[in-house]
């Protein structure tokens, strides 16, 4: 089987733009709505959205590669990188490195993707690594760069990238295409199409010894941001992680053909899903502020503590909802007080009660759809 880069027409990808037209329009419209929604937030809440979305992307893009990072450490590093905190912090190299790359994406949404920028991103992502020979440069080893799975003796090759001696030429063509198809270029492409092709093309070249997935997803985020002249306020990697198995399958399927309609349609859906998730977070924070303003002075210390703890979990809330037992554990209150406190919160419109007896659960009564604003 020939890989896409071995085909005679490479890198002449083929697709039908009309199949993506509605999704492209939805992306642009959703982006405008997201920017408008952000204007409803106070400065602290805007910063919270930025940190939450960037950290979610950082954690998710690393998790796709099987690397589990510490959320607090990533967020602390991001706050420092973006000048939102002057406090001292300690982060492992992995958390500090991925946070630095995400901060660069956020601070410079209109900057082009250049070789120098890619090398900087690679140094960030490989921060602290001692097992990688080529950091901040393209791979130089003679062995084939393969993506494989399976035990020894039963190895399956999912993809083999171009040899190292072709990387300068291959990456040169990709970077030139990125500028030519940018919003300011001579052949501008629609946002989702350009981002989807850029990600697939980069992954097909696989120019680095390690970190290609994380950098490839950053390239896609950069393409989306440049299309709307602002950070996308979406965590694309969170959506890709949610569909990780399909993500790998779609990339593999697209690695042996130049006809990429299937890949682009799938990628577009994931980008739109990420937009929806980000929009829900923004609307949640708007409603959170309204809720706490409405309840100011009406809550006792126990109720306020639990409500703030629930709000800190974000739109998805506690897994399974809040139980009376959870409330007692957090506050130390006796059963009669727990029952009274929870009933009051329901009466005040802060919580929604579902279930009966031991199955009773409480969830935040906050709308996150378009009607919330």
Average pLDDT over residues 193-201: 98
The whole-chain average pLDDT of the chain stands at: 91
Name the pLDDT band for 87 (thresholds 50, 70, 90). Answer: low
d(CA 215, CA 158): 20
| CB of 217 closer than 8 Å to CB of 236 | yes
Residue 351 CB burial class (10 angstroms; 0-12, 13-18, ≥19): buried
Whether 367 shows a pLDDT value over 80: the answer reads no
The Cα–Cα gap between 143 and 166 comes to: 13
Average pLDDT on 176-182 reads 98
Q: Give the DSSP per-residue string, 107-174.
A: H-TT----HHHHHHHHHHHTTT-SS-S-SSS----SS--EEEESSTTS-EEEEEPPPGGGHHHHHHHH
Q: How confident is the model at residue 370 (pLDDT cuts 50, 70, 90)?
A: very low
Q: Grade residue 231 by pLDDT with cuts at 50, 70 and 90.
A: confident
**pLDDT tens digits along 50-82:** 998 899 999 999 999 999 999 999 999 999 999
pLDDT for 299: 95
Closest Cα to residue 345, out of 322, 367, 329, 368? 322
Average pLDDT over residues 129-146: 93
Look at residue 371 in the predicted model and tell me its pLDDT: 42
- Buried/exposed 113-152: b ≥16 CB within 10 Å, e otherwise: beeebbeebbbbbbbeeeeeebbebbbeeeeebebeeeee
Distance CA 32, CA 14 (A): 29
Q: What is the pLDDT of residue 154?
A: 79
Provide CB contacts within 8 A for 12, sequence distance 6+. 258
pLDDT at 369: 57
Mean pLDDT of 215-240: 90
Give the pLDDT confidence score for residue 41 in this predicted structure.
76
The token pair that represents 163 in the structure block: 């040899």
| 318: pLDDT strictly greater than 80 | no
In tens, the pLDDT along 301-314 reads 999 999 999 988 87
What is the structure's pLDDT at 372?
40
Residues 6+ apart with CB under 8 A from 174: 11, 198, 201, 202, 205
Using one digit for the tens of pLDDT, what is the confidence trace for 232-263?
667 899 999 999 999 999 999 999 999 999 99
Please give the domain boundaries of the chain with CATH numbers for all domains. 4-282 (1.10.3290.10), 297-372 (1.10.10.10)
pLDDT: which is higher, 228 or 312: 228
pLDDT (0 to 100) of residue 88 = 57
Q: Out of 41-45, 72-76, 275-279, 327-331, which region has the weakest mean confidence (pLDDT)?
A: 41-45
Q: Which pLDDT value is given to residue 241? A: 96
Give the model confidence (pLDDT) of 142-171 as tens digits.
998 998 888 777 788 899 999 999 999 999
Q: How far apart are CA 16 and CA 368, in angstroms?
A: 34
**What mean pLDDT do residues 90-111 have?**
93
């Amino acid at each position: 089987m020939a890989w896409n880069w071995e085909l005679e027409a490479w890198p002449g990808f083929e697709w039908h733009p009309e199949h993506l037209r509605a999704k492209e329009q939805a992306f642009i419209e959703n982006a405008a709505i997201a920017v408008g929604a952000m204007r409803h937030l106070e400065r602290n809440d805007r910063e919270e959205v930025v940190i939450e979305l960037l950290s979610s992307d950082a954690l998710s893009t690393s998790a796709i590669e099987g690397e589990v990072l510490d959320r607090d450490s990533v967020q602390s590093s991001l706050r420092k990188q973006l000048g939102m905190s002057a406090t001292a912090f300690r982060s492992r190299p992995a958390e500090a490195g991925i946070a630095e790359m995400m901060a660069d994406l956020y601070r410079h949404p209109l900057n082009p993707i250049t070789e120098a920028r890619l090398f900087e991103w690679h140094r960030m992502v490989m921060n602290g690594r001692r097992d990688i020979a080529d950091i901040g440069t393209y791979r130089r080893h003679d062995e084939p760069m393969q993506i494989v799975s399976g035990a020894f003796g039963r190895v399956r090759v999912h993809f083999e990238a171009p040899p190292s001696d072709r990387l300068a030429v291959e990456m040169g063509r990709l970077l030139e295409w990125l500028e030519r198809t940018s919003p300011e270029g001579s052949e501008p492409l629609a946002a989702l199409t350009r981002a989807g092709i850029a990600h697939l093309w980069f992954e097909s070249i696989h120019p680095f010894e390690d970190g290609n997935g994380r950098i490839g997803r950053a390239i896609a985020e950069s393409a989306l941001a440049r299309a709307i002249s602002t950070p996308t306020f979406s965590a694309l990697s969170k959506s890709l992680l949610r569909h990780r198995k399909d993500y790998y399958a779609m990339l593999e399927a697209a690695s042996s053909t130049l006809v990429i309609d299937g890949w682009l349609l799938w990628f577009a859906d994931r980008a739109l899903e990420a937009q929806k998730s980000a929009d829900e977070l923004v609307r949640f924070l708007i409603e959170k502020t309204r809720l706490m303003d409405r309840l100011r002075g009406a809550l006792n210390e126990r109720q306020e503590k639990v409500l703030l703890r629930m709000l800190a979990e974000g739109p998805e809330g506690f897994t399974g909802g809040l139980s009376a037992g959870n409330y007692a554990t957090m506050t130390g209150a006796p059963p009669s007080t727990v029952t009274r406190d929870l009933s009051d919160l329901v009466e005040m419109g802060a919580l929604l009660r579902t279930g009966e007896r031991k199955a009773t659960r409480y969830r935040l009564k906050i709308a996150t759809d378009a009607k919330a604003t």
